[in-house]
Amino acid sequence: MYLKEHTIGGLHDFLDPILKRFALRGGCAIDLGAGSGALSVRLRELGFEVIAVDINSERFKADTPFTQLNLDNADFCSLGDRAFDLVTAVEVIEHLENPVAFLRNIRSLLKPDGVALITTPNMNNVPSRLRFLLTGTLHMMDEKAPNHISPIFYHLFMRKYLPRTSLRLAEHYSFPKKGYKVSRPYYSWAFRLLAHLLPGPALFGDVNIFILKPSGENLINADKS
């Protein structure tokens, strides 16, 4: 059965070699915002025991264990008090009302040596910067993406979000690695040129991919900062 991937085309294939590095036969994985279950099936094929989680049970078509859950719930991490070797959340965090709370729940789901893989639209890339400069609107946060409500900016993610969640960035990737898929193709050459001239991280790619691990540090109280 074909399972539709509710992501930018090619993202799951790009994630395959990354996920294979963390593959653990018999390990436990949880796929948050599983959609149709396409990624859940890939995780099972890597040897994980997989639980898929999504708010929408009707579009889930995979033959893996499924839990219907609203990821905006503050305590969604209490899934039978289980801890996981791998947590995935592909194109999920931008749909949620409280990204920091979501990251804290991910930390609670992870084993001490566990790994989380999160992807989200790249708000720092060249097309996004130019669009905001020229129109004052955010790329992937307009009427074409009505369910995207929380833009994730690289610097805020690193400096403000992660220190409040007891997570640390282990690796960062962009997809496509040195280009763009959702922007107009005949402008891509100009975007790539500007990416070599402008300062800052995450200038390439339409999607940011964050590999997170527990930091071992105490959570920062957001009310005191």
Within-domain flag for 91:
yes
Among 3-12, 17-26, 156-165, the minimum mean pLDDT is found in: 3-12
pTM summary value: 0.91
Contacts (Cβ under 8 Å, ≥6 apart) of 101: 74
Within-domain flag for 25:
yes
Within-domain flag for 2:
no
Give the pLDDT of residue 183. 67
- State mean pLDDT over 199-223: 79
Among 9-13, 40-44, 185-189, the minimum mean pLDDT is found in: 185-189
CATH, residue 60:
3.40.50.150
Within-domain flag for 141:
no
Give Cα 87 distance to the centre of its chain: 10
State yes or no: pLDDT of 189 exceeds 60. Answer: yes
Structure-token pair, residue 202: 């995450």
The more confidently predicted of residues 210 and 193 is 210
Give the pLDDT of residue 1. 61
Within-domain flag for 190:
no
pLDDT, averaged across the chain? 89
Give the pLDDT of residue 105. 93
Within-domain flag for 189:
no
Contacts (Cβ under 8 Å, ≥6 apart) of 73: none
Within-domain flag for 114:
yes
Going across the sheet that includes 167-175, the strands are 66-68, 49-54, 28-32, 84-90, 110-121, 207-214, 167-175
Give the pLDDT of residue 190. 85
Give the pLDDT of residue 217. 62
State yes or no: pLDDT of 222 exceeds 50. Answer: no
Count of domains for the chain: 1
Give residue-wise pLDDT tens across range 111-167.
999 999 999 999 999 999 999 999 999 888 888 888 999 999 999 999 999 999 999
State yes or no: pLDDT of 184 exceeds 70. Answer: no
Give the pLDDT of residue 19. 96
Its domain, for residue 94, covers: 11-120+147-179+205-215
Structure-token pair, residue 43: 């995780």
Within-domain flag for 132:
no
State yes or no: pLDDT of 221 exceeds 60. Answer: no
213 burial type by CB count under 10 A (0-12 exposed, 13-18 middle, 19+ buried): middle
